[in-house]
Amino acid sequence: MNALFVITGLGIFSLLAEFGNLKKWLTGFVVAGLAAAVVLAALDWNTAVPYFSHMLVFDNLALAFTALISILTIIWFWLSADYFTTGTHRTDRTSLIVFAVVGAVIMASFNNMAMLFLGIEILSMSLYVLAGSRKDSLSSTEAAFKYFLMGSFATGFLLFGIALVYGATGSFHLHTIAATLTANPSGLPSFFYAGVLMMLIGLAFKISAVPFHFWAPDVYSGSPTTITAFMSTVVKVAAIAAFVRLFSTCFLVVEPTWSKVLQVIAVLTLVIPNVTAVYQNNVKRMLAYSSVGHVGYILLAFIASPSETGTIFYYLTTYSVSSLAAFSVLHLVEGNSEEVTISYFNGLFKRNAWLAVTITIAMLSLAGIPPLAGFFGKYMVFAQAIRNGYTGMVIVAVITSLIGVYYYFKVIIAMYFNESTTPPVIELRASHKTLLFVLIALTFALGLFPDMIMSLFQA
Amino acid sequence: MIKTIPLDYYLWLAATLFTIGVLGVLYRRNAIIIFMCIELMLNAVNLLLVAFSTYLNDASGQVFVFFIMAVAAAEVAVGLAILVMMYRNTKSVDINILNRLKW
């Protein structure tokens, strides 16, 4: 909880930093504050204290997600330093990012439907603005508008679902609802099930699961690359945290009503984005489809065993680190151009070996090649699914990850074997080199020592 | 007063309003009308929450309505700002213009 207070304070401070001569120190201050939030989350470990008459509960899962979200944001601030130094409204942009993190933390720790709704809205509303933060660019405007439209449309479904569930159970508290469902499993009105399914649809929009994913590639490719990196890591982690929290605590009793639907969604989410990504020539769009595809593996782990959240958390960690590495390289390669095709990467190894090696490792990890982090993430998901008897879905998932290898390798082949056509050598600053080194090291470390994460979740 | 009408009627009314909102979002091409349809969806939810809240004799549903109203107002502020930005770039609020990003 103290972590949430600190992050909220940082957001307000960022707004006030416009006065006085505080702007220069702002990013450093925010990063220090987020590091403090990680420490505070670690200090609260194993306490599970409820706050504000059980509106928020900081149990271990919520604390782990809080720490992960804060760490990812720190790395994100590192890679996107120039997003704040160039361009105007530095304080506003910083505070929007920090408030988005506040929303993300609330989404990881809610214990009441009202907090779920407010968390999602705090997060989304900051992002609508950030997606359109390149004001002169038509594609940025289009991304912001589509994101806004689809976001509020999804919120409508979520709210209608919440209202129906409230009507059937008489409460917004997750534990009261779960208790009502356990006590009275057969006497529920039929509109309760409609409510659960509408909440499922609303959250499927937020985690961008097929067939509710169509906004994601447009928004990801239209937004500024740094914001896309934020959306595909921090925001995705928060959305999945909210999804897991809601369906593994509150609606676990009525699993038969949603598990079949979720299985169909999971299979579609595995197949469609991975196949579509093969046809992409724009790298940012390809990464967007790949990020939608990764949701499929997470859903597979969730269907197999909703209560084993360790696997999902580990998968999300590995995915986010590799994805941040890929987006940092993309951001450094693209320069000022709005659309980066695969031919942009031609001969990158000769132009700058650091960038080429980093994105190779990131892509191999996303594709799931051992001994990198992504491989063990996938391995644990598949193992968990097979243990619980979902062999058919695992076969589909293995095939789609093989398709994934194909499109990730298109970029790698372009870097090493094609002759360079676009600008020559790219110079890197020392801070960027350190960042790339840290991300590579994390990708290897997470792969070689998965117990670092997994041991957190063994009771 | 509210309870003189059966709960089912409120459910059907809210569901109808919500459906009209959804269809409006899907079929209309003018961005401002789409905003209004989203508001219609949210107000259908508000109506439903108030009806349930009265029938359950539980005030928390009505408190939730205040949250929704506050958030919807903020959301429209952001949405209209984006709309103004879109109008400056394209001189139109027709969403068919937004087709640069596909596939």
The ipTM assigned to this model is 0.95
Q: What is the pLDDT of residue A114?
A: 94
Q: How many domains does chain B have?
A: 1
Contact A368, A401 (CB under 8 A): yes
In contact, A115 and A57? CB cutoff 8 Å: no
Contact A92, A151 (CB under 8 A): no
**Is there a domain that residue B100 lies in?**
no
B89/A141 Cβ within 8 A: yes
C-alpha distances out from residue B23 to A166, A172, A402, B17, B29, Å: 25, 28, 39, 10, 12
Taking CB atoms and an 8 Å limit, are B82 and A145 in contact across chains?
A: yes
Could you tell me if residue B99 is inside a domain?
no
User: For chain A, what percent of residues have pLDDT higher than 90?
Assistant: 68
Residues of the domain holding B55: 2-93
Residue B35 is part of a domain; what is its CATH number?
1.10.287.3510
What Å distances lie between residue A129 and A61, A96, A238, CA to CA?
29, 8, 18
Token pair for residue A452?
């670092």
Q: A22: phi > 0 → left, psi -120 to 50 → alpha, else beta; which?
A: alpha
Question: Hey, which residues 116-155 in chain A have their CB within 8 Å of chain B?
Answer: 117-118, 121, 125, 128-129, 132, 135-136, 138-139, 141-146, 148-149, 152-153, 155
pTM (2 decimals)? 0.94
B21 belongs to a structural domain: yes
In angstroms, the Cα distances linking A272 to A218, A233, A289 are 16, 21, 9
Alpha-carbon span A323 to A345, nearest angstrom: 17
Q: Is the pLDDT of residue B1 over 80?
A: no
Are B85 and A144 within 8 A, CB to CB?
A: yes
Residues of chain B with Cβ-Cβ distance to A221 below 8 Å are 101
From CA A115, how far away is CA A107, in angstroms rounded? 7
The pLDDT value recorded for residue A178 is: 93
Eight-state DSSP code of residue A425 = P
Residues of A within 8 A of B101 (CB-CB) are: 139, 142-143, 146, 217-218, 221-222
Element of type H or E holding A440: helix A430-448
- CA dist A251 and B61 (Å) reads 20
Q: According to DSSP H, which parts of A110-252 are helical?
A: 113-131, 138-169, 174-183, 190-206, 215-222, 225-230, 236-245
Paired tokens of B31? 């961005």
For residue B52, the chain A residues in CB contact (below 8 A) are 163, 166-167
Query: Which of left, alpha, beta for A372 (phi over 0: left; psi -120 to 50: alpha)?
Result: beta
pLDDT at A1: 82
**What is the model's pLDDT at position A21?**
74
Are A311 and A301 in contact, with CB atoms under 8 Å apart? yes
Please, are residues A435 and A328 in contact by the beta-carbon 8 Å criterion?
Answer: yes
Provide the token pair at A284. 């940012």
d(CA A201, CA A211): 10
CA distances from A118 to A64, A111, A113, A123, A279 (A): 21, 12, 9, 8, 38
Taking contacts as CB-CB distances below 8 angstroms, the residues of chain B near A167 are: 11, 48, 51-52, 55-56
The sign of the torsion formed by the CA atoms of B33, B35, B39, B41 equals positive
Which residues of chain A fall below pLDDT 70? 87, 421-425, 459
Q: Is residue B101 part of a domain?
A: no
Whether the CB-CB separation of A61 and A4 falls below 8 Å is answered with: no
Q: H or E segment at A51?
A: strand A49-51
List the single residue in B with minimal CA-CA distance to A122.
B71
Q: What is the DSSP string of A216-282?
A: HHHHHHHS-HHHHHHIIIIIHHHHHHHHHHIIIIISSTTHHHHHHHHHHHHHHHHHHHHHHHHT--B
The candidate with the shortest Cα–Cα distance to A343, out of A286, A289, A281, is: A281
- E strand residue ranges, A269-394: none
Do A145 and B52 make contact, defined as CB atoms within 8 angstroms? no
Residue B103 has pLDDT above 50, yes or no: no
